[in-house]
Amino acid sequence: MKKIIAIFLVAVMPMLAQAAGGAHLDKVDIDMGDKASLHNGARLFMNYCLSCHSAQYMRYNRMAADLEIPEDLVKENLMFASEKIGDTMTIAMSKEDASAWFGTKVPDLSVTARSRGADWLYTYLRTFYTDESRPWGVNNTTFKDVGMPHVLWELEGLKKPVYETHKGEDGQDVKTLSGYEIVMPGTMSADEYDKAVRDLVNFMVYVGEPAKMQRYTIGIWVLLFLAVLLIVAYPMKKEFWKDIH
């Protein structure tokens, strides 16, 4: 009985946690086997995120090897903050400066995909909206009053929230978010932007757990090995049991 309760809790807890968090999260489909997506994600990450955020547990040469990008191409196109291919992905800004400029700590993004989850990241990067009352002129539905500017606004454009009002249980008007309306178009369409953010999150999931990449490849070999083993083992089994049946 205890076991059943434990299994139930494990299954239901994440749902409860999400319900408690309130915000609805969009699902993103992560695929570590999709090299083109990881390459695009790396490009976006280096260009748009690494100026403020570090990824201090990741080395450029490890990324080059895992994602199969030649090291000289990494050096030429993806390294803006460091000189040596063996460096970790740090930034030039000091923690003190960052705190002074942004009024808050700029977190390292090495393991954010694990702490927040891929769906959260995917939703967060797609829910910035214009809000004149905020220092950067934007707010975020997933991370209320966030201290980060909408750094991808040139790609996505700027949008404003659209609310609908309905009567709550107590008869009062309640305002809920029903969608967004573009107020300044970006260089990408909504679909293109979703795809770009998916690539970026795919890359961040890889950064959060590079060993996953190896497990992915090893997994394929293990399955192949088991298949070959089956071919050998099955006739053997037949041979051993022949006299008994």
Residues binding ligand HEC (CB under 6 A): 48-49, 51-53, 102, 104, 106-107, 109, 112, 116, 121, 124, 146-149, 151-152
**Comparison of 5 and 17: residue with beta carbon closer to ligand HEC:** 17
Taking the complex as a whole, how short is the minimal distance between the CB of residue 210 and ligand HEC, in angstroms?
A: 17
Taking the complex as a whole, how short is the minimal distance between the CB of residue 220 and ligand HEC, in angstroms?
A: 29
Taking the complex as a whole, how short is the minimal distance between the CB of residue 119 and ligand HEC, in angstroms?
A: 12
**Comparison of 112 and 202: residue with beta carbon closer to ligand HEC:** 112
Taking the complex as a whole, how short is the minimal distance between the CB of residue 125 and ligand HEC, in angstroms?
A: 6
Taking the complex as a whole, how short is the minimal distance between the CB of residue 166 and ligand HEC, in angstroms?
A: 31
- Cα–Cα distances (Å) from 15 to 2, 3, 21, 215, 227, in that order, read 20, 19, 10, 28, 37
Amino acid type, 216 = Y
**Comparison of 71 and 186: residue with beta carbon closer to ligand HEC:** 186
Q: Provide the token pair at 79.
A: 């390294």
**Comparison of 24 and 215: residue with beta carbon closer to ligand HEC:** 24
Residue 90 to residue 54: CA distance in whole angstroms: 5
**Comparison of 71 and 107: residue with beta carbon closer to ligand HEC:** 107
Q: Provide the token pair at 108.
A: 């390292």
Residue 61 to residue 75: CA distance in whole angstroms: 9
Planar angle of CA 129, 133, 135, nearest 5 degrees: 85
The residue length of the chain stands at: 245
Contact 64, 71 (CB under 8 A): yes
- Cα–Cα distances (Å) from 184 to 142, 156, 187, 188, in that order, read 21, 9, 10, 11
